[in-house]
Amino acid sequence: MIKFITKRLLIAIPTLLIIIAFGFIMMRVAPGGPFTNERALPPEIERNIQEAYNLNKPLYEQFFIYIKNLSVGDFGPSFKYKDFTVNELIISGLPVSATLGLSSIIISLFLGSFLGIIAAVKRNTYFDYSVMSVSLVGICVPSFVMAPILSLFFGLYLGILPTSGWNGGSILNLILPITALSLPQIAVISRMMRASTIEVLNSNFIRTARSKGLKSSYIIRKHVIRASILPIIEYLAPASAGLMTGSIIVEQIFGLPGIGRYFVVGALQRDYTLVSGVMILYASLLIILILITDILRAYLDPRVKI
Amino acid sequence: MKNEATNILTVDNLKLHYSSAKGFFSKKEIVKAVDDISFNLLEGETLGIVGESGSGKSSICRLVLNLISKSSGKITWFDKDLDTFNKKQMKEFRRKVQIIFQDPYGSLDPRMTIGSIIKEPLDIFNKKFLKKEKEKIITELMNDVGLSNELFNRYPHELSGGQCQRVGIARAIINKPSVLICDEPVSALDLSIQAQILDLLKNLKNKYSLTLVFVSHDLSVIKSICDNVIVLRSGKIVENREVNDLFRNPENEYTKKLISSVPSPIPLKR
């Protein structure tokens, strides 16, 4: 087990290096730079800025400087948010995004699989049809529609929840953004869970369990869930990496200081270090989550060897 | 001699019909998987059910156990209609009537150890047993079915087909059922293992005084183990007779064909 984890983490290092190099080159290849303005700067000032950020050096040298700083955990200064380092930006924004993402992924996992299992057990009944049609709506309505509707209804018309703001992470402020993030996930998970549960329910070992005389609730708990949750686990790794690094839409609509916007803003403004920083964060998170998924899968299915 | 035995299970006019449409616009067709079948199961006998693939053998097993619902007909267990059973009676019926499935590997939960698969029926029916007593029962049973105790903490995928089928048999008889339905228990196994499993079933039948329902498509297997035989063809009973009688002078054309199709150990000279 420990050997497996160390091996996977060692493999992760070259993976990350490739991702960093790729991101580095892509950003530099894109036209324009962090200091390209509509109004041209005087050449001396431009040269000074270039020098300050090492932009005048050849590309490979810039890359090595960047890697050298990275190896001690320094993501470098942000090119656009003056006086902030990328480390500071991530440290201030990540807790917000991670709180939202983690809560919403936990809620969707439980609610989604619960609904999916019941829909599968009661398949082709009105319960099944209503859960599945509501979840279809949940998948189809994008969050930039759902979030304002939620905000309008609960925040403005009913006035029971704040429409926006972080407010130090108070629960009331979190309810609406978490709901907006969770709804599509609940929809996807419940549909996946329904399909996989139906498949498991039709398998031979469930027939054996029934012929043993076991109660159906017991069969669901003991035999079905462990098998039918597997596809959900696989789906969860990329989904939670995405949710935990923030969603620009939900964060913008609810005015939350997360890191979701840095992906978009950083790329648009050619903020080289910021984009690289959040990209490395996302990639490492994904690598760790996939590792956890593999361990979980081996735990849930003894046929899988790790 | 068989006439004096008690009748424990009676099946009357059992039917299982599916309706299936071949295309979107075509008329619905009714598939008669089991069509108007009646038979009795006498205590202590071994009843063989034989027929080609798709003749409804497995469907009958599952219908009798109420694992799938019938279209019409009546199944009576000790003069009581199965349809009138409440949950508790149904549970007791499931304890008394057990089944071994055709696919030895797929019928075991791949996520459970051999020990817990065998133990599970014990857990739900005999809650009062202590852990040690349970372990003792399981160890004895594993010996009875010819499984080494080292396999207790293994998973089904680590076992051979024959071992898996032994696990299936062990978990079926752990609660001392009175009827054991064997739904083609040896068809997925090779010949030497087949013989071992058949021997095992014969021994267990005597040791636990079981009534066996033995389903197979293989007449030589049926001949070696059964007292009475039902010959099925496309959901209907063709013949229902004593086994030696059936082999000596088969009445029906289909039965004759089945018997003559059994490969003989000595190849015919041409």
Task: Please check whether residue B128 touches A, CB under 8 A.
Answer: no
State how far the Cα of B188 lies from the Cα of B104, in Å rounded to an integer. Answer: 8
Cβ contact (<8 Å) for B108 and A302? no
| CA A117 to chain CA mean position, Å | 24
Q: Where are the domains of chain B?
A: 2-260
pLDDT at position B1, please?
44
Cβ contact (<8 Å) for A218 and B67? no
pLDDT at position B51, please?
86
What region, left, alpha or beta, does residue A165 occupy, with left being phi > 0 and alpha being psi -120 to 50 degrees?
Answer: left
Looking at chain A, the whole-number percentage of residues with pLDDT higher than 90 is 30
How far is the alpha carbon of A208 from chain B, nearest alpha carbon, in Å? 6
Highest mean pLDDT among A46-60, B93-107, B255-269: B93-107
ipTM of the complex: 0.79
pLDDT at position A36, please?
74
| Among candidates B107, B111, B124 on the partner chain, residue whose Cβ is nearest the Cβ of A300 | B111
| Residue B142 backbone dihedrals phi, psi, to 5 degrees | -65, -35
- Rounded to an integer, the average pLDDT of B193-205 is 90
State how far the Cα of A161 lies from the Cα of A175, in Å rounded to an integer. Answer: 8
A302 with B155: CB under 8 angstroms? yes
Task: Please check whether residue B108 touches A, CB under 8 A.
Answer: yes
pLDDT at position B179, please?
93
pLDDT in tens, A89-108: 888 888 899 999 999 999 99
pLDDT at position B268 over 60? no
| Among candidates B95, B107, B155 on the partner chain, residue whose Cβ is nearest the Cβ of A205 | B107
pLDDT at position B270 over 60? no
- Rounded to an integer, the average pLDDT of A223-236 is 91
Q: Which CATH architecture has domain B2-260?
A: 3-Layer(aba) Sandwich (3.40)
Looking at chain B, the whole-number percentage of residues with pLDDT higher than 90 is 23
- Rounded to an integer, the average pLDDT of A264-285 is 87
Going by C-alpha positions, the residue among A242, A259, A278 that lies closest to residue A23 is: A278
Q: Which DSSP state fits A85?
A: B
Cβ contact (<8 Å) for B157 and A302? yes
How far is the alpha carbon of B118 from chain A, nearest alpha carbon, in Å? 10
Which segment of A45-59, A196-210, A281-295, B71-85 scores lowest on mean pLDDT?
A45-59
State how far the Cα of B230 lies from the Cα of A204, in Å rounded to an integer. Answer: 26
- Please list every residue in chain B whose beta carbon sits closer than 8 Å to the beta carbon of residue A218: 124
Nearest CA in chain B to A204: B107
- Domain A93-256 fold is MetI-like fold (1.10.3720)
Cβ contact (<8 Å) for B124 and A214? yes
pLDDT at position B72 over 50? yes
More confident residue, A200 or A215: A200
Looking at chain B, the whole-number percentage of residues with pLDDT higher than 70 is 94
How far is the alpha carbon of A195 from chain B, nearest alpha carbon, in Å? 19
| Residue B211 backbone dihedrals phi, psi, to 5 degrees | -100, 125
Going by C-alpha positions, the residue among A21, A133, A16 that lies closest to residue A66 is: A21
Q: Where are the domains of chain A?
A: 93-256
**Rounded to the nearest 5 degrees, what angle is found at the Cα of A169, between the Cα atoms of A165 and A171?**
95
pLDDT at position A289, please?
92
Which segment of A50-59, A240-249, A291-300, B132-141 scores lowest on mean pLDDT?
A50-59
Q: Whole-number mean pLDDT of chain B?
A: 86
Using pLDDT thresholds of 50, 70 and 90, give the confidence band for residue B56: confident
A101 with A282: CB under 8 angstroms? no
In total, the C-beta contacts within 8 angstroms joining chain A to chain B are 63
Burial of B240 (0-12, 13-18, 19+ CB in 10 A): middle
Cβ contact (<8 Å) for A207 and B121? no
pLDDT in tens, A8-38: 889 888 999 999 998 888 888 888 777 777 6
Using pLDDT thresholds of 50, 70 and 90, give the confidence band for residue B3: low
pLDDT in tens, B89-98: 888 898 899 9
pLDDT in tens, B214-244: 998 888 888 888 999 999 988 889 888 888 8
Using pLDDT thresholds of 50, 70 and 90, give the confidence band for residue A272: confident
Task: Please check whether residue B177 touches A, CB under 8 A.
Answer: no
Which segment of A75-89, A195-209, A214-228, A231-245 scores lowest on mean pLDDT?
A75-89
Distances (CA, A) of B203 to B3, B43, B212: 24, 17, 12
| Among candidates B67, B98, B111 on the partner chain, residue whose Cβ is nearest the Cβ of A301 | B111
How far is the alpha carbon of B251 from chain A, nearest alpha carbon, in Å? 36
Tell me which of B107, B127, B154 to substitute to probe the interface with A (most A C-beta atoms closer than 10 Å).
Answer: B107
pLDDT at position B264 over 80? no
Nearest CA in chain B to A212: B121
In B72-91, the residues whose Cβ lies within 8 Å of chain A are 91
More confident residue, A243 or A33: A243
Using pLDDT thresholds of 50, 70 and 90, give the confidence band for residue B2: very low
State how far the Cα of A132 lies from the Cα of A166, in Å rounded to an integer. Answer: 33
- Rounded to an integer, the average pLDDT of A158-166 is 85
Task: Please check whether residue B161 touches A, CB under 8 A.
Answer: no
Which segment of A256-270, B34-48, B105-119 scores lowest on mean pLDDT?
A256-270
